[in-house]
């Protein structure tokens, strides 16, 4: 009898990254990590100096992205990452820098 693995839930991660993260290649770096993980979404500069990251895909891949955002290996300097988890909305393709 074969064991059927349960499909991993697809989720939406919204992360707000604070620190010196604009004008240093942070969105490009985030896009690269997200694409490596098979995620879709975007990274956008906010007026208050933060970057907002929206990513959808398997929960484990989204969690890996959060670890990467907090890793200290990013361009610039990340002071904090606030995350919100929700159900995937779908309809996204690729990963955009906005």
Q: Are 17 and 69 in contact (CB under 8 A)?
A: yes
CA-closest candidate to residue 75, choices 18, 29, 15, 37: 29
CA atoms within 13 A on the CB side of 71: 14
Instruction: Just list the catalytic residues.
Output: 27, 45
């Amino acid at each position: 009898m074969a064991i059927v693995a349960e499909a991993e839930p697809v989720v939406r991660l919204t992360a707000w990254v604070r620190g010196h993260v604009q004008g240093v290649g942070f969105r490009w770096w985030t896009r690269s990590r997200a694409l490596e993980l098979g995620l879709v979404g975007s990274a956008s500069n906010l007026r208050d100096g933060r970057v907002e990251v929206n990513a959808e895909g398997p929960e484990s891949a989204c969690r890996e992205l959060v670890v990467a955002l907090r890793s200290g290996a990013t361009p610039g300097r990340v002071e904090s990452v606030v995350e919100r988890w929700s159900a995937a909305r779908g309809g996204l393709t690729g990963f955009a820098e906005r």
